[in-house]
Structure 1
Amino acid sequence: MRLPASTVTRSLPRAVQAFLATEASSTLLLLAATVVAIVWANSPFAASYEALWHTPLAVRIGVLELELDLRHWINDGLMALFFFVIGMEVSRESTLGEMRNRRMVAVPLLAALGGLALPAVLYLVINAGGPGAIGWGIPIATDTAFVLGMLALVGPRCPDPLRVFLLTLAVVDDVGAIGVVAIVYTNEISVSALVAAVVLFVLVLVVRWIGIRWAPLFTALAVVIWVLTVESGLHPTVVGLALGALVRVHVPPDARVLRVGELAQAFTRNPTPERGHAARRELQAAVPPNERLQLRLHPWTSYAVIPLFALANAGIPLGADTLARAATSPVTHGVVAGLVVGKFAGVALGSWVGLRSGLGSLPGQLVWGQLLGGAALAGIGFTVSLFITELAFAEQALRTEAEVGILAGSLLAAIIGRVVFWLAWNRGAVCAPPGEDTSAEQLPDTLADPVSEHDHALGPESATVTLVEYADYECPSCGTMHPVLHALRARYGSQLRFVFRHYPIDSLHPNARRAALAAEEAGARGRFWQMHERLFTHQRELDADGLAAHAEQVGLPADVITNRHVRRHTDRVDADIASGRASGVRGTPTFFVNGQRYKGGNNSVELTAAIESALAESEE
């Protein structure tokens, strides 16, 4: 699988593809809402802007009443829905995505922590002891929608692994920002309402634990918990994040997927209402609740909630007096410094620490300049920064100064990020984990580590042609090439020696490394090629249960693949990866023919031509 943007995007999990696409495409709408709000607030109709958002709106049920103005219905209500979607993304990432892999999550986690801490420190240094000190939470947040939108504008200069890296960073960043809101920007607490909300939240946990999945019940409980949280004084976005994190996510079992196919075929043969209903019900049950809800809610939050929030909160008066005060305001200076300098330095430093310490690695062989460009763009803190500003300052003057700083800082961060990407595109230095040479501008064309007796090989050492493959057991392109390689070995017989080396792409295929370790464990017991065959012909079954079943099929005890002893092969797999990187491998499958990189297409015709050419050269 090669790693240009188009291919990588298709290889990402469906939920990540949808999240990236929706966030990026909604950016223009968010930008338009921001411009409309600013123009409106600085037009002759400015009074109508504030009048609209201060319009009271009440919900009454008998003697119970909840009344908020229109702006607070958006900030406290609709934004809770936005953070519910973020909570679901946290659940998905920690269960199936980047955050389940310790090495892949270590670097963006440390980058996010640096991006949370340094902006706050810079802000406090500038505002220490002043009336604006409480606003230190304003520059800590990254606006995911604007950042992904900017990355879309960057185009091929930004690879998709960087988008996934920044998405993981943004998830951690959002959790940190909401934690700050809950702890720092909550004033008075109604203990009775808070206790009632906690009791109902525990009830949600119990209902979830016993297996009840009736959506109307969860919806009713969520609404009541939200109302109680509003009454308690704790900001209700915390509830959205917590409830979203509870939504189940899992990989649909193959048996259920096949059952859907059977029911669909039955309906095709005899399209009765009963069979249609059964197929629809089974299809809905096969899709995890997390992905179903994200599919339905994420477009609403991205295309409606966030633009509405911008429209209600971005109307900043930008008259001469306002700009003059902002130019000398430590609040404005602190916000700009935090977003532009603090975010960039914090994300870059956190990434460097993660790589330097060996705690983690970067996906997809990112370029350092691309990573630094992403660090600069992380300073776009528009949505959540405005959100925290509303909570931090009761005084309108301080709020306006902070909002001017948010606009200026976010704009500067966007410009700097774009410039860094342009410079990185022109230099092209390779970013890799510590210890690797990143100075070469062009990838090597020769195999760095010659074939040895330690390699997994089929065919005699005296073969005229040696074909080395770096592959990933979960890579669909590798699976497509597997029968092609079978045919080539059958065609050329003793003239061809085939060598297999591991190159699991953890950022794209969560089960690939586990499968590679399983193959090595089987190899230690004399069953490598049998397991190799099973893994490539059953690529949908690479979880722990699937690997145990494969072990039994090749004559091994089921538990040998899943026990802790399989970790002893980590060094072997990492050695293959290191040799691939040193040889210029950046995706799978990558082939070397007699030690030279194969640059043709992954198909039988072109690979056969390369082997024929090598045979012809040997006869000269």
Structure 2
Amino acid sequence: MSAPASAPDTTTSAARRKVRLRRGSSDRSAAALLLVGTVLAILWANSPWGSTYEAFWETELEIGLGEWQLHATLHDVVNDGLMTLFFFVVGLEVKREFTIGELTDRSRAIVPIVAAIAGLVVPALLFVVIALPTGELAAWGVVISSDTAFLLGALAIIGPPFPARLRTFLLTLAVVDDVGALLAIGIFYNSGLDLVPLAVAAVLMVAIALVRYLRAGRGLAYGVLGIGLWIAIAMAGIHPTLAGVAVALLIPVFPPRRSEVERTEELTRAFRESPSAQYAAAVNRSLRESLSINDRLQAEWGPYIAFLVLPIFALANAGVHLDAETLAAAFSSPLTWAIIAGLVVGKFVGITAATAIVRATGMGKLAPGLGMPRVAGGAALSGIGFTISLFIVGIALADGEAQDHGRVGVLTASLVAFGLGWAIFAIADRLSPPQAVGKVLARPFDPARDHYRGRPDAPYQIVEYGDFECPFCSRATGSIDQVIRRFGDEVCWVWRHLPLEGVHPHAKLAAQAYEAAALQGRFLDMSRTLFQHQDALETDDLCRYAEELGLDVPRFLEDLRSPAVVRRVEDDQIDAELMDLHSTPTFFVNGRRHIGPWDSRSLIRSLEASVDAPPETAAER
């Protein structure tokens, strides 16, 4: 059970902390392995055995079948082969974000999208201006992309308080950034197009798009057709890593399928009653089918990319000679400084300025708790352009000395960007201490968005963060009824979601049912029904309640797991994390956190006292 606000639920708090620590630990681990690969490459290239570095990665591999022969170096295997898998996972993330993720909501996405575009254009322009004397203008692509793994790892290492909103902002920005970088590679860094293989590639892409309709063997079909597409794209003169993106964008993505989830539940019950290999296989098959192949592939391949492919890539590409002569030549070259300026200055200025302009013009707005100092810190960290930057160095710069200068520029820019980001976060947190978070409501009451009872302009306002599976929240409903009877239309009560998933496994689904009912104007009736049946909150139960309330049940089911409804609930959860809320019910009285008992008498006294309270300060907000 969850505890009242006066006695925080330590079990829930611990569970939520574990989730945050696990996510941060994964980001830090991926960044640490990438850094290890980089350091090992540099040490190897500058050791007494440094000559073996290039020799090893230029080792020839040959695969033959009759008269057909394939020649490649180990370096080619990494950059053209393994990196295809990296771009495949990036493509999966891009497809998911545009289909059911953050980028489906224009109002949420407009700020990071515009900021990401500025973060692509401004660095490239700055690079061109500085690198003009070198004649290496084709290397502008080196400065356009941020390294997502290093970016999130750096954020986890710095550890600013309550990073959820900033992490979401940076992930959205990174997705758009990746799209731009991939388009640049495909359009500007190809070796001339051959139309026949290009036509074959187009046919293969159509075939890949149709694989979703196969009844079985879809994984094998995607694999075989994907390899064929890789070969066709390479023969067409386009960098073959783009095949990974193309396949990913053609793979379907959808929210969990209710029918398959219920089928899995039935099969699990049957397996429990009569264990057999047939039932076990059916349960596994049903589990797989309940999730889109996009989600399954991200979960299965993501760790291999983060913890194996990217460190190997760093080991194969970061081995620049850092002797005094090379460093002196690099830091006297406009090419090196163009890369440093493009990544460090261009990213910071482009992202920060674009965000400020979009906010000022009203085109978009930042999420609650995400101010410009935080955006500036994230913009600085976006100058860590490692993976794709080093990748383009090898494509855009043919001369070995120029490549060394490019790698020195990328490595230096990444170090400077990390230091700059750390400094900005430290200064911002000193000027605006994070202790104030949670004292006042992070997101003010919005009648156009929030669900409420009473007059929206009432002088008294009480906002409740609750959980439909929490027995204390059920009791608090009676307290709220007493408060409303006492104040009448002089009070406005607002409900927001804080499903404590660690201890209440059905709470989030119940919150989604509330939002689905709200789309048909029956949120209050649904909330009372949910509180009356806290021990029966499965999908079938929720559908029965919807039918009893006279709702359009097919529409209710469609809305129940829709991206908009899920995102609405998660918005409230993120706000709660931002304010460091760990228990339910939690109340805010006229915008200020209510500390103490939440019986009707205490809430009434708190509301009456709030009239004489001083207004909240900017620092508190």
TM-score by length of 1: 0.79
Partner AA of 1:71 in structure 2: H
Whether contact under 8 Å (1:123, 1:337) holds in the other structure is yes
Aligned with 1:128: secondary structure? helix
Establish whether residue 611 from structure 1 lines up as the match of residue 602 from structure 2.
yes
Establish whether residue 484 from structure 1 lines up as the match of residue 472 from structure 2.
yes
**Residue 549 of structure 2 is aligned with which of 547, 554, 557?**
554
**Residue 403 of structure 2 is aligned with which of 399, 403, 412?**
399
Whether contact under 8 Å (1:504, 1:516) holds in the other structure is no
Determine the C-alpha separation between the residues in 2 that align with 1:510 and 1:117: 42
1:376–1:291 Cα change, 3 Å: same
Aligned with 1:591: secondary structure? strand
**Residue 352 of structure 1 is aligned with which of 356, 363, 382?**
356
Worse-superposed segment, 591-600 or 509-518: 509-518
Establish whether residue 109 from structure 1 lines up as the match of residue 100 from structure 2.
no
- Give 1:291 deviation, angstroms: 1.7
Partner AA of 2:518 in structure 1: A
Establish whether residue 225 from structure 1 lines up as the match of residue 225 from structure 2.
no
**Residue 463 of structure 2 is aligned with which of 444, 458, 469?**
469
Match of 2:274 in 1: 270
Partner AA of 1:555 in structure 2: G
Partner AA of 1:63 in structure 2: E
Match of 2:615 in 1: none
TM-score by length of 2: 0.79
Establish whether residue 530 from structure 1 lines up as the match of residue 519 from structure 2.
no
Whether contact under 8 Å (1:263, 1:279) holds in the other structure is yes
Worse-superposed segment, 36-45 or 355-364: 355-364
- Give 1:248 deviation, angstroms: 2.3
1:122–1:512 Cα change, 3 Å: farther
Determine the C-alpha separation between the residues in 2 that align with 1:446 and 1:311: 44
Determine the C-alpha separation between the residues in 1 that align with 2:281 and 2:461: 52
Determine the C-alpha separation between the residues in 2 that align with 1:236 and 1:355: 39
**Residue 591 of structure 1 is aligned with which of 587, 593, 596?**
587
Deviations 1:423-470 (A, max 9, x none): 11112289xxxxxxxxx999548998899xx994389xx9xx988234
Counterpart mapping for 1:145-164 below 5 A: 145-157=149-161, 159-164=163-168
- Give 1:58 deviation, angstroms: 2.1
- Give 1:259 deviation, angstroms: 2.5
Partner AA of 1:326 in structure 2: A
Whether contact under 8 Å (1:369, 1:429) holds in the other structure is no
Establish whether residue 119 from structure 1 lines up as the match of residue 123 from structure 2.
yes
Partner AA of 2:389 in structure 1: S
Partner AA of 2:594 in structure 1: Y
**Residue 294 of structure 2 is aligned with which of 275, 290, 294?**
290
1:348–1:10 Cα change, 3 Å: farther
Determine the C-alpha separation between the residues in 1 that align with 2:276 and 2:294: 30
Whether contact under 8 Å (1:22, 1:299) holds in the other structure is no
- Give 1:66 deviation, angstroms: 2.1
Counterpart mapping for 1:265-344 below 5 A: 265-344=269-348
Aligned with 1:157: secondary structure? coil
Aligned with 1:249: secondary structure? coil
- Give 1:163 deviation, angstroms: 1.1
- Give 1:213 deviation, angstroms: 5.7
Establish whether residue 457 from structure 1 lines up as the match of residue 453 from structure 2.
yes
Whether contact under 8 Å (1:446, 1:596) holds in the other structure is no
1:111–1:515 Cα change, 3 Å: farther
| Structure 1: unaligned runs, 5 residues or longer | 431-439, 472-476, 564-572, 601-605
Whether contact under 8 Å (1:97, 1:510) holds in the other structure is no
- Give 1:151 deviation, angstroms: 0.8
- Give 1:613 deviation, angstroms: 8.8
1:599–1:245 Cα change, 3 Å: farther
- Give 1:116 deviation, angstroms: 0.4
**Residue 370 of structure 1 is aligned with which of 371, 374, 387?**
374
1:448–1:41 Cα change, 3 Å: closer
- Give 1:152 deviation, angstroms: 0.8
Whether contact under 8 Å (1:252, 1:288) holds in the other structure is yes
1:533–1:62 Cα change, 3 Å: farther
Counterpart mapping for 1:94-243 below 5 A: 94-128=98-132, 130-157=134-161, 159-208=163-212, 214-243=218-247
Determine the C-alpha separation between the residues in 2 that align with 1:394 and 1:450: 57
Whether contact under 8 Å (1:190, 1:233) holds in the other structure is yes
- Give 1:149 deviation, angstroms: 0.8
- Give 1:190 deviation, angstroms: 2.5
Match of 2:565 in 1: none
- Give 1:131 deviation, angstroms: 1.6
Determine the C-alpha separation between the residues in 2 that align with 1:153 and 1:89: 23
| Structure 2: unaligned runs, 5 residues or longer | 6-10, 486-490, 502-507, 559-567, 610-621
Match of 2:79 in 1: 75
Partner AA of 1:316 in structure 2: V
Counterpart mapping for 1:400-439 below 5 A: 400-428=404-432
Deviations 1:106-125 (A, max 9, x none): 11111110110110000001
1:85–1:542 Cα change, 3 Å: farther
Aligned with 2:467: secondary structure? helix
Counterpart mapping for 1:504-543 below 5 A: 519=518, 522=521, 527=522, 529-533=524-528
- Give 1:490 deviation, angstroms: 3.9
Determine the C-alpha separation between the residues in 2 that align with 1:100 and 1:239: 25
Deviations 1:275-297 (A, max 9, x none): 22222221222232112111211
Match of 1:501 in 2: 494
Partner AA of 2:587 in structure 1: F
Aligned residues: 564
Determine the C-alpha separation between the residues in 1 that align with 2:607 and 2:184: 68
1:196–1:9 Cα change, 3 Å: farther
- Give 1:315 deviation, angstroms: 0.3
Worse-superposed segment, 591-600 or 130-139: 591-600
Whether contact under 8 Å (1:74, 1:309) holds in the other structure is yes
Aligned with 2:365: secondary structure? coil
- Give 1:364 deviation, angstroms: 4.3
Determine the C-alpha separation between the residues in 2 that align with 1:445 and 1:214: 49
